[in-house]
Amino acid sequence: MSAMSKKESDGCRKLLKLLSEDDILSLNDTVTNRLIPAESPREAIEAIIAYSQSAEELLKRKKVNREVIFKYLAAEKVPLPPNSEKHQLIKRTLELWTCDRENTVNVSSACCTEQKGDGLEQIAALGKQFCQWFFQLLNYQNPQALQQCSMKQDWGPQHFWSDARMLLLTHSQVRQKDEFHGAELVSRRLLALVSEERLLFYPNLQQTGLKCVATPHGLVLVAVAGTIHRENDCLGVFEQVFGLIRAPQEDNRWKIKTVHLNVKGQIDKGTLPAVTYNSKELLQLFT
């Protein structure tokens, strides 16, 4: 029987109502192995939810296609690029259904606490986990994002060192360079990108889009490339480098010391954005 939470069950009901009546009845036959006949779509939906092993299993069903999930997320005002693949939409839907402070682990604490072990694999895992946390949190500040999500209240200078600094490079008709100093100013400028300019940042967390380097002095550099969107339009690509340092007074959480954000206004179709810095160049950015 289903192990869904109430929030997952409610979400599945709303999503399944977007299917045609024939698809709902067909899905009921598949999920229940034709053992639970349904006389109406409403009965079928309840049986589908009851006999699905999990919300994820239900979302992966063929009848629950990419277009249905996309339409559901759009109705819930969850921002995402229109070319998202089904597995990405499933991931975002599950995040939506678990976006409740009482039912989920604090993402900031989970990804910014000390990582066990040493070596390149641990540094790479830290970088990927940090980027997943950071860009999800940043994108949730966009006015199009889910209004009720508790993560909208989690953004702020507390994630930055008090002397944090940020370099912002933008390329339009002319190249512009701006610098910001202090946790409050850096936090506000990043926030303005999504809350006022209504941008959305989607990182490429595959091998070519992520590079991580650790220094002997405890600084971890995380470089990531990705695409920038506004509503349904892809505006270009970005390359961002973070300098992270542990805060011993805060249970060894990783906090942002430096940010180097390069926003470019062009994108090569058919290719994923890639980090252009090598390890030596990353180190030179902050020395």
What are residue 79's phi and psi, to 5 degrees?
A: -75, 135
- Judged against a pLDDT cut of 90, whether residue 208 lies above it is answered with no
pLDDT beyond 70 at 106? no
Distance CA 239, CA 81 (A): 18
- Supply the DSSP symbol for 57: H
pLDDT reported for residue 144: 76
Q: What is the tens place of the pLDDT at every residue in 10-57?
A: 999 999 999 999 999 999 999 988 888 888 999 999 999 988 888 999
Lowest mean pLDDT among 42-46, 82-86, 236-240: 82-86
- pLDDT of residue 114 exceeding 80: no
* pLDDT score for 164: 97
Answer whether 0.75 is exceeded by the pTM.
no
pLDDT class for 239, splitting at 50, 70, 90?
A: very high
Model pLDDT for residues 130-187, shown as the tens digit of each residue: 998 999 889 889 887 655 555 556 899 999 999 999 999 998 777 889 999 999 999 9
Asked if 223 and 275 count as a contact pair (C-beta separation under 8 A), the reply is: yes
> Which residues fall within 8 angstroms of residue 126, CB to CB, at 6 or more apart?
115, 212, 220, 222, 244, 254
Task: Render pLDDT for 247-284 as a digit per residue (tens, 0 to 9).
Answer: 888 878 899 999 999 998 776 666 778 899 988 888 88
| Residues in Cβ contact with 281 at an 8 Å cutoff, skipping those fewer than 6 apart | none
* Measured distance CA(204)–CA(208) in Å, rounded: 8
Q: What is the mean pLDDT of the segment spanning 105-112?
A: 39
Q: CB 34: neighbour CB atoms within 10 A?
A: 9
If one compares 232 and 192, the residue with the highest pLDDT of the two is 192
Identify whether the C-beta of residue 84 lies closer than 8 Å to the C-beta of residue 70. Answer: yes
pLDDT at 123 over 80: yes
Cβ neighbours for 146, distance < 8 A, ≥ 6 positions apart: 76, 77, 78, 96, 99, 140, 152
Higher per-residue confidence, 76 vs 144:
76
Under a CB-based contact definition with an 8 Å cutoff, are residues 210 and 223 in contact? yes
How far is the C-alpha of 199 from the C-alpha of 241, rounded, in Å?
A: 18
Work out the burial of residue 157: count CB atoms within 10 Å of its CB; fewer than 13 is exposed, 13-18 middle, 19 or more buried: middle
pLDDT of 116 > 50? The answer is no
